[in-house]
Structure 1
Amino acid sequence: MPSPSERPATMHRTAGVILAAGASRRLGRPKQLLPYGHGVLLDAVLATARDCGFDQTVLALGGAAGEVQRAVDTTGCEIVLNPDFGEGCSSSIAAGITALHPDTVAAVLLLGDQPGVRAVTVRALLERLFSGGERTGRGAPGIAVCRYDDGVGHPLAFTRRMLPELGSLHGDKAVWKLLEQRAGDVVELPVPGPIPLDVDTEEDYRRVLAGLEGAL
């Protein structure tokens, strides 16, 4: 039988929200479609999401949405288009949350340009979220984050009571401000190693590819 860290918490309806609506301005080409492994960057993220055991997977698209839908297998995803993608990541979070099933108990934010996140980490993060109150002696937490060797990073998980506040954020870094404001509601999952790389520049992309080659 798989351990709790190897399977989703089956008594809770969970959702993954994949944030892949960026315009890739710094890169100059759609980063979702950068070659990676046997497909493209977003293919790898979607493969991870399918492995997580979510009851629902929402994919937020904006910049290059048409190209992405033509090139990427989005089977199993509910696609939401974010016309305000230029206003930052929070607009994609809001778009994704509006598509969640009303019985969703927890949602996990995944970055569409961060292929190094593993499904086992996401499953363990949800387990940490659901059991956090028991372990800390406090009430049930509203947020679970990954604590890597070099800091806190994605994926991030939120319980249903936090979703309205999460969906009302504005700006590109607002989710981090929410974590600061709600520090008492946050539990951490220790994850060995550095924060998985995401892609904003050509140098980021070269580093992500180097990491993939090193893992083979």
Structure 2
Amino acid sequence: MNETPYLAAVLLAAGPSTRLGQPKQLVKVEGEPLVKRVTRLLLEAGPDSVTVVSGCGATEIAQELDGLPVDVVYNKVWEQGMGGSITCGVRQAGQDADGYLVMVCDQWRLETPDIERLIEAWKSDISRIVVANWKEGKAFVSGPPVIFPGALLPELKFMTRSRGARQVIDRNMDNVEFVDMQNAAWDLDRPQDLALIPGYESPSPNN
């Protein structure tokens, strides 16, 4: 094991956001597109590399991230779902990482300290899956952001629409650590969710 573990971050920004009616990765929060905002948070949190997976709106995403120290990779099969984007991202990130931090770009309330806490929890035992956990009503829900140990790379490299990150987590529940992260509860799925975003701006008609 490396003395300092290597963490590769993969940001998923490829989907068409069908239910929302517009590419959520290009929705602006206080003038900043979500894909750029979450990329900035990742860079501030300090993983060793950041790979952004694009698909729908790829040209605009590349323009927004131009000049940032990240690797943008286009997922040719982005219409096939999130599993394929994870596979595309981890393959681009390389096979030598000790862990893979997988994030989505619509959890608009996340802040840098949230990601830092996830990373610190993972560093305490890099063999574990570290998953965000939050409360919805009386129940607790888990989901992204997630850090997968490098040992699971063979599974991450061959994901599909029906075989995604959730299935990997469920098969390894005895090796999962949950990190409380209430800010992760806020995401964008439906048009009415947009009303909750401060300084919301929709993508331009040209996107």
For 2:45 and 2:145, locate their aligned partners in 1 and report how far apart those are by CA, in whole Å: 12
Deviation at 1:32, TM superposition (A): 1.5
Q: Percent identity?
A: 24
1:175 aligns with 2:165: yes
What SS is found at the alignment partner of 2:184? Answer: coil
**What amino acid does structure 1 have at the position aligned with 2:130?**
A
What TM-score do you get using the length of structure 2 for normalisation? 0.84
RMSD: 2.3
Aligned residue pairs total 195
2:196 matched residue in structure 1: 207
Greater relative contact order: 1 or 2 (C-alpha under 8 angstroms, separation 6 or more)? Answer: 2
For 2:157 and 2:198, locate their aligned partners in 1 and report how far apart those are by CA, in whole Å: 33
For 2:59 and 2:76, locate their aligned partners in 1 and report how far apart those are by CA, in whole Å: 13
Instruction: Decide which of 27, 32, 36 is 1:39's aligned counterpart.
Output: 32
Please, which runs of 5 or more residues in structure 2 have no aligned partner?
Answer: 201-207
Aligned in 2, Cα 1:62/1:204: closer, same or farther, shift over 3 Å?
same
Instruction: Decide which of 144, 159, 183 is 2:130's aligned counterpart.
Output: 144
Q: Which shifted more, 11-20 or 181-190?
A: 181-190
CA contact (8 A) 1:24 1:31 kept: yes
Higher-helix-fraction structure: 1
Deviation at 1:198, TM superposition (A): 1.8
Deviation at 1:75, TM superposition (A): 1.0
Please, which runs of 5 or more residues in structure 1 have no aligned partner?
Answer: 1-9, 133-139, 212-216
For 1:145 and 1:89, locate their aligned partners in 2 and report how far apart those are by CA, in whole Å: 17
Q: Which shifted more, 54-63 or 96-105?
A: 96-105
1:109 matched residue in structure 2: 102
After superposition, what is the alpha-carbon deviation per residue over 1:98-124, rounded to whole angstroms, capped at 9, x for unaligned?
111343111111102222222222222
For 1:47 and 1:14, locate their aligned partners in 2 and report how far apart those are by CA, in whole Å: 16
For 2:44 and 2:16, locate their aligned partners in 1 and report how far apart those are by CA, in whole Å: 27
Counterpart mapping for 1:42-57 below 5 A? 42-57=35-50
**What amino acid does structure 1 have at the position aligned with 2:165?**
V
